[in-house]
Amino acid sequence: PGHPLVPEITTAGKKEAVEQYQLAASLKSERERKSAGEKKVTRCNTGAFIIHPKTGKPLPICIADYVLAGYGTGTVMAVPAGDERD
């Protein structure tokens, strides 16, 4: 939610929902946000898409409160597998 590109990629139709989600995430401590295994992970669709590098299919770009902008690149490509958070 804190990535600097979020406002640029968010579509007009998703702007209000994304801003509300960003506010809710900002009210949580970093510890709360990192403890994804202890809570239900949430996300918010930005309305933007990227192209999957292997399949060429469009993938929605979502923001999630457990992804911290200051950790690594601040982005995650979530591929469902063994981690229930993805």
pLDDT digits (tens, 9 = 90+) for 7-54: 999 999 999 999 999 999 888 877 777 665 566 778 899 999 999 888
pLDDT of residue 82: 58
Burial code (b: 16+ CB inside 10 Å, e: under 16) for 46-79 equals bbbeeeeeeeeeeeebbbbbbbeeeeeeeeeeee
- Residue ranges of the alpha helices (H) in 1-86? 6-9, 15-26, 30-34
pLDDT of residue 37: 58
Tell me the pTM. 0.74
Please tell me what DSSP assigns to residue 4.
Answer: T
